[in-house]
Amino acid sequence: METQWPLVLFTLFLCLSCGLMLFQGIIATLGKGSSKFHQAAIITSAVSLAVGGIAVFFHLKHWERIFNGFGHITSGITHELILVVVMFVAFIAGFIMLRKGRDLGRVMGIVFIVIAVIGGFVTAHSYDMYARPAWNNIFLYLYYYSSLLLLGAAAIWTVASICKEPAELCKTTAWWTLVCALLSLVVVIAAMVFISNITPSTIDGITFYTYDPTHQAVDPSGSLAVGMSSPLFWLGAVVIGCVVPAIVAFLAAKKSEQAAKPALPVVALLCGIAGGVCYRVVLYMVAIASYVYFF
């Protein structure tokens, strides 16, 4: 299927925003982080959500009818719209608390965590449709959660280092980034193996193809592993998107002074974003209809 760039950016920045929310919630629940840090995290998360929201407007042909989007509760887009509103309400509530000199506290931290976890599910669920076998499986959910975790961990590490939080907190967030990058690496490779091995019987006897109709996505060689999509997958999603953030986070996690400087977390975040874009584009490349009647 043709890449829908606005949706690529929307899911990317939604995952970034939810991920930031998740790790900020964890830090708030642990009673850590200065007010300045938490305010900066909320602003970063809100800006990320706004950028994603603006991107999605470019996808809609009638954006002026956007409020119609609340009109059908079974729709994934309706769920996403509700999620975005709930997230902004939580951001405003948290920001006001901080501006009044109060801590976010355990309750608000848990609220942030719950919203972020639901956000990951909602993002994946919107694209879970049986017409697209490459999306209609558990790996879509696992990927969006792994993306949320990696982007969120790298972003909260970045915010912590820029806000000059204690080295211990920066080091902790570097460890989180390392674990999330490795988790993301496992998920994208497992997803590649699964998608490359979707057999015709899984999709009711109809062979499904990549964007090149002469090459089956289900052929034993696996188009994601060695086919036309492989550079984008291996170099983009795996090396830049997972391995580089993992290496960077590992280097920082070993030394507190490195973790406290913004350079390494910024590299991890940018690579995570680039990898996220690459994998989302791959998801569109393999998203062929269940019953391929026409090309």
Partner 1 sequence: MSRYAVITDLNRCVSCLNCVVACKEANGVPIGNFWIKILRVGPNPKYPGATYPDVEMYYLPVSCQHCERPACVDVCPTGASHKTENGSVQIDHDKCIGCQFCVMACPYGVRYLNVEQGVVEKCTRCYQKTNEGELPSCVTACGGSARFFGDLDAGYGDFRSRLDENGNNISLLDTSYVKPFTDDQVYALPDSGNGPSDRFILRNRVWR
Using CB under 8 A, list all residues that contact partner 1.
1, 4, 59-63, 65-66, 68-72, 74-78, 81, 126-127, 129-132, 204-206, 287, 289-294
Please identify, using beta-carbon distances, which residue of 9 and 273 lies nearer to partner 1.
Answer: 9
Q: How far is the CB of 126 from partner 1 (least distance, A)?
A: 8
Please identify, using beta-carbon distances, which residue of 204 and 257 lies nearer to partner 1.
Answer: 204
Q: How far is the CB of 70 from partner 1 (least distance, A)?
A: 8
- Cα–Cα nearest to 155, from 116, 98, 121, 102: 116
Give the integer Cα–Cα distance in Å for 50 and 161.
23
Q: How far is the CB of 206 from partner 1 (least distance, A)?
A: 7
CA 186, distance to chain mean position in Å, is 15
Give the integer Cα–Cα distance in Å for 247 and 239.
10
CA 7, distance to chain mean position in Å, is 12
Please identify, using beta-carbon distances, which residue of 23 and 284 lies nearer to partner 1.
Answer: 284
Backbone angles phi, psi at 143, to 5 degrees: -65, -50
Q: How far is the CB of 46 from partner 1 (least distance, A)?
A: 23
Give the integer Cα–Cα distance in Å for 24 and 221.
42
Please identify, using beta-carbon distances, which residue of 93 and 289 lies nearer to partner 1.
Answer: 289
Q: How far is the CB of 76 from partner 1 (least distance, A)?
A: 6
Burial (CB < 10 A; 0-12, 13-18, 19+), residue 212, is middle
Give the integer Cα–Cα distance in Å for 13 and 23.
15
Please identify, using beta-carbon distances, which residue of 132 and 171 lies nearer to partner 1.
Answer: 132
* Number of C-beta neighbours around residue 191 at 10 A: 25
